[in-house]
Amino acid sequence: MTSFFNETHQVTFRDLKADVEGLSGLRCGACGEIEYDQPSAERYAEAGDALVLEARRMVGEDLRRIRKKLRINQTEASALTGGGHNAFSRYETGKVSPPPAVVNLFRMLERHPEDIKELRRA
Ligand SMILES: [Zn+2]
């Protein structure tokens, strides 16, 4: 293991990326594996957490945009997707990560908005 100091590493989550500067720790010369020192490990983890929150916020904004395009309110959207009457409010504000099935359904409805009528009949 050899020490490294003040490096910039990229943290990624899905299609999001962020540079974390000033990282230090140890690197294995054989396999390249890295062990950050404590403050670096914390900052790297925080940057990753921030990307997760950012991704959740973006998915929430996407759901809100599609819901408005479908001309249904949050209560109706929650009733359609079965998450409890406040579920969509929490998804759209990024407080809760929506289940993939909800995101997939809304992305499909965005392409076929007339299908909302079929769902309402069910
Ligand atoms: Zn190694």
Domain boundaries, the chain: 2-121
| The pLDDT value given to residue 122 | 63
7 CA distance to ligand 1 middle (Å)? 19
Pairing of strands 16-27, 34-36: antiparallel
21 CA distance to ligand 1 middle (Å)? 23
State percent of the chain over pLDDT 70.
Answer: 98
Distance CA 85, CA 105 (A): 18
Structure tokens at 21: 């500067």
38 CA distance to ligand 1 middle (Å)? 19
pLDDT digits (tens, 9 = 90+) for 66-121: 999 999 999 999 999 988 889 999 999 999 999 999 999 999 999 999 999 888 77
The pLDDT of residue 55 is above 80 = yes
Decide if domain 2-121 falls under CATH 1.10.260.40.
Answer: yes
Average pLDDT (18-30) is 97
52 CA distance to ligand 1 middle (Å)? 28
71 CA distance to ligand 1 middle (Å)? 55
By the 8 A CB rule, do 22 and 39 touch? no
Distance CA 67, CA 88 (A): 10
